[in-house]
Structure 1
Amino acid sequence: MKDFAPLKDWWTVAELAEARLPDLPATRQGIEAVAKSQDWRAQPGRARRRQARGGGWEYHWRLLPVRTQRQLLAEAGQVEEVAAPGADRAERWRWFEALPEATKKVAADRLAVLREIESLTPVSTKYLAVAMVANRIGKSERTIWNWFGLVEGVDPADWLPYLAPRHRAGANAAPKAEAAKDFYHWLLADFLRLEAPSFRSCYRRVLRLCEHHGVAPLTERTAKRWLDREVPRVRQVFLREGERGLMKCFPPQIRDRSGLSALEGVNADCHKIDVFVTWPGFDKPIRPQIVAFQDLYSGKILSWRVDVDPNKVAVMSAFKDLLQNWGIPQHCLFDNGHEFANKWLTGGAPTRFRFKVREEEPLGVLALLGVKIHWATPGHGQAKPIERAFLDLASDVAKDPRFAGAYVGHKPDAKPENYMSRAVELEDFLAVVAEGIAEHNARQGRLSATAEGRSFDETFAESYARAPVRKATDEQLRLCLMAQQVCKLHKTHGRMTLHKNGYWSDWMNELAGQTVVARFNPEDLHAGAYIYSLAGEFLGYAECQEKSEFFDLASAQAAAKERSRHLKAQRRAAKELRPVSVGGLARELDKLPKRAEAQVDAKVVKLANLEEIRRLEQRQKGPLIARPMATPQTTPEQEAQLLDFAESFGTRKAELEPAQENARDRFFRAREIEARSEAGEPVGREEAAWYRRYSETPEYRSNLTIFDRFGADSIR
């Protein structure tokens, strides 16, 4: 193993000349000249007078050139790197990267001079090389030796940042002002909040707190620089503007549409047009809403509708125009508004943000057509390409000369001077909008990746001619014309009630009481309804049964004729269903062998008429036939009802005398009124009112049940 000599820290001129180290002269005179030119003795802590005999000066090895230092370290067996003066290597390069270009050029020029001198050293002395280069560039030798001093002990690969002008170096910067921690905490708490106060107002409030608590603050400008240095801008935006503000810090996603084809995907949205329009049925002019479907590949607006506000009827009508004119898209990108998330269109979509998704929810039109639904990020306009088309409509269509005086401005504080001076008629408005959309589609020079200078019409037509487009059938178009609603059919006859209209056909008897989906035209409720199962299966068509006038004989005759037709149809079906008649079945039973007759006691007693029964009962003070029968038990609520019934006639239960009317008398009294009413005999007003009240009591209903089952003698 090689023995290493200890590193010698201090060297005399004679020792340096004798050692013959690299980058140093080999004579005492040469080394003294280097020490004088580089002013070694002026370096504090690096030069000292020699204490031994003869005196003189000693120099620290850190003053020597870099290659000399490395050789001394290698001979001493030390592998540490030569320490760099000032900031460390990574920090110095970061600092240099932030310097202006002019300062970087100064450092680069200095480096070029030092590299040139280093290249001349092998064929000449360094002193002669410095003198030659200094004379050529017009600099003093002292200046060039100072540049060498800047990179002393630094790896040649890192010379560039150390050669930058010293007045830019971080080591020479003034000490930073400091304040108490409370000042920083108060300032962050006040400034970084969603109310987004100004920094000046926050600083004034914090300054009052510092004065009250005796805390040393920073100046306003220093505090602002400290906050910007310690808190990144993105974090400031998030804490002061929330998630919506944070989204602005990220550039919009660049989506490539070149891989799509015409009608492969569409997107839709609503836009309020900045024009006052006279709308039928409204006292004041309104700003209409337009709902439009745009092709994602080409950017062409394929269909649109205008209404007073965003609603599902307008969306369904615009989508129906899209299907009828162009075909069925494969994908739909929607805004998350209620008008698009409605169950008529997107029912059954599991990713809908609005409305609760239920298992029994009927499938919407898109699910039935096999269209995949995509939802744009709520509140994020960059996610919907159609917003760019609406920008053109707001600029071109809304400011059309034919709308002069009706334009309202794109925001409340941008109203024109002639605001609300006129309103446009609806027909004129629709004509200008249609013209503007046609011009928007036909305009040449579109710069999108798919248009490449062509119009949206040409881009769409070129791809549409070769794209596999699914055409909509009449049944599919009918689905788009129809709104849908879940209804329950009547439990006996199966009629469906929808928006106060009745819908019925004879086949609906088979589905009485079931839950179905009704699809109907919301603009014509009397056009009938198409009935579907919850799974989307078509069941049949139901006509609308319109209400008729009370004394409308024609409607009554038509209804009676319809019932007669239905009755005959049922009779024919019953006859076909029963090949053997009831009479034929009875004759077959009569042909069976007779069984031995058994002695049968009479079970039916012929009763006299009602008046005779009452007279006999009054004579005997009891029922004609004494038979142990179960007396119906009454609940406390029934007792209270009977008591109220008795009170209505001015008597109380406790005051009733045995000779007065009992439960049996009241029941047969009610039966007598019924008999007279059925026979057409007159019934008094008092009797009719009493009968209506009594017929609703539990006493009457229970006695009527006993009477029907066991006869009059069972009533107590």
Structure 2
Amino acid sequence: MSADIAPSQEWWSAEQIAEACLPGLPGSARGVNAFALRENWRATPGAIMRKPGRGGGLFYHWSLLPFNARLKLIEREAQHKEACPEDHQDRGQAWAGYEALSQKAKDTAADRLDALDKVELLHTSGARHVVAVEAVAKEKGLSPRTVYNWIALVEGVAPEDRLAYLAPRPPKKRTKAEDRAQFAPFLDWLKSAYLRLERPTFAQSYRSASSEAQRKKWPTPPEKTAKRWVDAEVPRTVQVFKREGANGLMRCFPAQIRDRSCLSALEAVNADCHKIDVFVEWPDGTINRPQIVAFQDLYSNKILSWRVDHDPNKVMVMAAFGELVENWGIPKRCLFDNGREFANKWMTAGAPTRFRFKIREDDPIGVLPHLGIQMHWATPAHGQAKPIERAFRDLASDVAKDPRFAGAYVGNRPDAKPENYGSRAIKAADFVEILSEGIAEHNARPGRRSATANGRSFDQTFEESYATAPIRKATEDQRRLWLMGQAPAKLHKENGGLKLHGNVYHCDWMSQEAGAKVIARFDPEDLHSGVHIYALSGEYMGFAECQQKVGFFDLEGARSTARRRSQITKAQKKLAELHAPFAPERLGADMNAGRKETPALMAAKVVSPVFPKPQPRVALSRTNPDAATARDALVLKMKSKPKAKATPTEFQVAGTPDERFDQVAEIRRKINAGEPVGDRERSWMEGFVDHPEYKGLLAVKRSFSGGNAG
């Protein structure tokens, strides 16, 4: 038998060994004691322990038993574990259960162990065991039977493990497997209804499941029981994932902590956009909340450069990046947000990790690949991946709530608008000046608690590392990369001129390159300053001046004009929707819903029948419009007062309904008899037989005549 395999009960009394009927051992306690004397078990060090229970005696360690007896014990214990796994508790399980108890239960176990230690101390000092138990029970205010029960709990247990075995076990409330199985269809339907991204409440899902169970005759547990079962069967993380998606699941785990102490100043930067909660009035009269794009040093958290505009765009990103490189140098790495303004082709075209926009073979290489900057993209919709979000929180709290912005602050949530919301808009120039002061104060504020700042300001942290860090400075040729936008173009096939954004650029050397595909780099803020021409392979070809200044003064101005025109169009559409809020489909649906069927006329048993009000008829597509107009005119004429009697040759419509009904019958008789009938008579008859008046009279007369009228 292997040495690392042992039964859970290490200490055995003579009575227990006899009752176990182990092979090679006597079947009585006296025989076991005699066997122990013959085998000299007491001579083995550490294998004998005095029995603390009533009557005294000795405990023998299981390792003293013969080999076959030990093997039998292990076999019996394995069978017992399979039959009753809940009743078996080894040393490890006992301590695991003890650690899971509350402090109150642990204190109870310690008090029980103290009682047993006192019993053993009194017994070893010469007192009888029964007297010792009664004395301790009286001291604790318990019955002696309770103390004997505690002694039975630790019988055969090593002294160092008695605390775990004496701990009170909480009652186990479990539902039998066969009892819960009958609720399986209901629970499956309930979990499917509850674990949805719409995040319904459990009560709502339970009501829906109960309705389905009532229809399909399923047994249903109480709502609280069902909630307890669902929580026990479905882990919390699974519930969060099914109800809140992947973003909710990420909140169940701690964010990754990145060590920035291994970086240096300007080694890595990160950038993002943020909408500031202040109404700003721009020079063109537009009032909105401006967007800021900022580049932040990852080592020190200092904001190195920034730009402000109406909306995020590549022009402001390029300008902020140019200021960063101009003032501080070229970083080695850039952590960008996954927005289109950062993934624009001016900045990132040619990067292998870029997954925005369509990739073309003639796309010019972006500024960052040209400068050898490695790009990293933050996880979308995950603010923890962008450290600059912490700086934006400071700007939202400090700069946006500056006293000079009183009345222009809009609140950081729709339900957090101040009482003076919309009462004022700050001028753009004043806003930029105050924002600049706020960012400078943000960088210079002492007492920062980041691992790299360690109580200093961001400025001090950056300056200390910047003084010793290897900084790459840009050359004049590289400077054109970030100060210029870029666009692929083709020179005129005859004169080599370049037309870009409505302007025409030309220089003498361009005539030699007529028809060539090139890359034009330009200043987005001043299109009239000229363009720099590059070959598709990246070689610089030369500079071209603006010859015809017919375009917008700057690229962003053109975009602003187009954006304003789009806003006007959207405003007009909304205004039109206010005047006509319902679509034609809605109108038709309302009309169909309100339409009532014409009640059928009862079999008349009255002297004077009452006819329903005529309903308007929908003309079929094959009806002649002129005939319909003539018919309506005749109907109006029929409702008018009777005129004077006409001459015999002139056709006259009868005055009463019965007379008009008889008049139709007379015209039909003439037609059947071959007598001459005027066109006016025939036309009137054909229109009147479809009129509700004639149809109603025809139904009444048929009911009285047995179906022979008409």
> How far does the alpha carbon of each residue in 1:102-147 deviate from its partner, in whole angstroms, 9 at most, with x for none?
1022113323444565678777675566466556666554322110
From 29, 34, 58, the equivalent of 1:16 is 29
What is the identity, as a one-letter code, of the residue corresponding to 1:355?
A: F
| 1:406–1:295 distance in 2 versus 1, CA, 3 Å | same
Match for residue 86 of structure 1? 87
> How far does the alpha carbon of each residue in 1:424-483 deviate from its partner, in whole angstroms, 9 at most, with x for none?
111111111011001101101000001110111111111111111112233322221100
> How far does the alpha carbon of each residue in 1:293-347 deviate from its partner, in whole angstroms, 9 at most, with x for none?
1111111111111100100100111111111111111111110111110111111
Match for residue 536 of structure 1? 538
Q: Is the 1:274–1:287 contact (alpha carbons within 8 Å) kept by the matching residues of 2?
A: yes
Q: Secondary structure of 1:80's match?
A: helix
Give the distance between the partners of 1:510 and 1:129, measured in 2 at CA. 117
Q: Secondary structure of 2:284's match?
A: coil
Give the distance between the partners of 1:87 and 1:402, measured in 2 at CA. 74
Q: How far apart are residue 415 of structure 1 and its match?
A: 1.0
Q: Is the 1:286–1:308 contact (alpha carbons within 8 Å) kept by the matching residues of 2?
A: yes
Work out which of the two has the higher radius of gyration on C-alpha atoms and give 1 or 2.
1
Give the distance between the partners of 2:441 and 2:192, measured in 1 at CA. 54
| 1:193–1:230 distance in 2 versus 1, CA, 3 Å | same
Q: Secondary structure of 1:262's match?
A: coil
Q: Secondary structure of 2:418's match?
A: coil
Match for residue 316 of structure 2? 314
Give the distance between the partners of 1:10 and 1:158, measured in 2 at CA. 23
What is the identity, as a one-letter code, of the residue corresponding to 1:507?
A: W
Give the distance between the partners of 1:301 and 1:134, measured in 2 at CA. 74
From 160, 163, 167, the equivalent of 1:164 is 167
From 189, 204, 208, the equivalent of 1:205 is 208
| 1:237–1:77 distance in 2 versus 1, CA, 3 Å | closer
Match for residue 242 of structure 1? 245
Match for residue 293 of structure 1? 295
Q: Secondary structure of 1:200's match?
A: helix
TM (norm. structure 1) is: 0.65
Q: How far apart are residue 92 of structure 1 and its match?
A: 5.0
From 274, 277, 282, the equivalent of 1:274 is 277
Q: Is the 2:199–2:244 contact (alpha carbons within 8 Å) kept by the matching residues of 1?
A: yes
Q: Is the 1:65–1:153 contact (alpha carbons within 8 Å) kept by the matching residues of 2?
A: no
| 1:174–1:328 distance in 2 versus 1, CA, 3 Å | closer
From 522, 525, 550, the equivalent of 2:524 is 522
Give the distance between the partners of 1:113 and 1:180, measured in 2 at CA. 48
Match for residue 268 of structure 2? 265
Match for residue 426 of structure 2? 424
Q: Cα RMSD over matched residues?
A: 3.4
From 228, 231, 234, the equivalent of 1:231 is 234
| 1:104–1:544 distance in 2 versus 1, CA, 3 Å | same
Q: How far apart are residue 498 of structure 1 and its match?
A: 1.0
Give the distance between the partners of 2:358 and 2:249, measured in 1 at CA. 29
What is the identity, as a one-letter code, of the residue corresponding to 1:187?
A: L
| 1:93–1:543 distance in 2 versus 1, CA, 3 Å | same
Q: Is the 1:7–1:72 contact (alpha carbons within 8 Å) kept by the matching residues of 2?
A: no
* Aligned 1:213-612 pairs, distance under 5 A: 213-283=216-286, 285-546=287-548
Q: How far apart are residue 253 of structure 1 and its match?
A: 1.1
Match for residue 620 of structure 1? none
Q: How many residues align?
A: 506
| 1:291–1:454 distance in 2 versus 1, CA, 3 Å | same
Match for residue 100 of structure 2? 98
What is the identity, as a one-letter code, of the residue corresponding to 1:484?
A: Q
> How far does the alpha carbon of each residue in 1:638-670 deviate from its partner, in whole angstroms, 9 at most, with x for none?
xxxxxxxxxxxxxxxxxxxxxxxxxxxxxxxxx
TM (norm. structure 2) is: 0.65
From 143, 147, 155, the equivalent of 1:144 is 147
What is the identity, as a one-letter code, of the residue corresponding to 2:103?
A: E
| 1:547–1:304 distance in 2 versus 1, CA, 3 Å | closer
Structure 1 position 182 matched with structure 2 position 185: yes
Give the distance between the partners of 2:487 and 2:506, measured in 1 at CA. 16
Q: Is the 2:448–2:454 contact (alpha carbons within 8 Å) kept by the matching residues of 1?
A: yes
What is the identity, as a one-letter code, of the residue corresponding to 1:487?
A: A
Q: Is the 2:237–2:249 contact (alpha carbons within 8 Å) kept by the matching residues of 1?
A: yes
Q: Is the 1:505–1:543 contact (alpha carbons within 8 Å) kept by the matching residues of 2?
A: yes
Q: How far apart are residue 239 of structure 1 and its match?
A: 0.7
What is the identity, as a one-letter code, of the residue corresponding to 2:431?
A: F
Q: Is the 1:268–1:386 contact (alpha carbons within 8 Å) kept by the matching residues of 2?
A: yes
| 1:68–1:251 distance in 2 versus 1, CA, 3 Å | closer
| 1:495–1:276 distance in 2 versus 1, CA, 3 Å | same
Q: How far apart are residue 156 of structure 1 and its match?
A: 6.0
What is the identity, as a one-letter code, of the residue corresponding to 2:73?
A: E
What is the identity, as a one-letter code, of the residue corresponding to 1:223?
A: A
| 1:95–1:267 distance in 2 versus 1, CA, 3 Å | same
What is the identity, as a one-letter code, of the residue corresponding to 1:165?
A: P
Q: Is the 1:442–1:457 contact (alpha carbons within 8 Å) kept by the matching residues of 2?
A: yes
* Aligned 1:36-115 pairs, distance under 5 A: 67=60, 76-81=69-74, 86-89=87-90, 93-114=95-116
What is the identity, as a one-letter code, of the residue corresponding to 2:482?
A: C
Q: How far apart are residue 162 of structure 1 and its match?
A: 3.1
Q: How far apart are residue 175 of structure 1 and its match?
A: 6.3
Give the distance between the partners of 1:152 and 1:240, measured in 2 at CA. 51
Give the distance between the partners of 1:218 and 1:70, measured in 2 at CA. 52
What is the identity, as a one-letter code, of the residue corresponding to 2:33?
A: R
Q: Is the 1:409–1:415 contact (alpha carbons within 8 Å) kept by the matching residues of 2?
A: yes
What is the identity, as a one-letter code, of the residue corresponding to 1:413?
A: D
Which has the larger displacement, 329-338 or 86-95?
86-95
| 1:66–1:515 distance in 2 versus 1, CA, 3 Å | farther
Give the distance between the partners of 2:251 and 2:20, measured in 1 at CA. 63
% same residue: 56
Give the distance between the partners of 1:17 and 1:537, measured in 2 at CA. 106
Match for residue 608 of structure 2? none
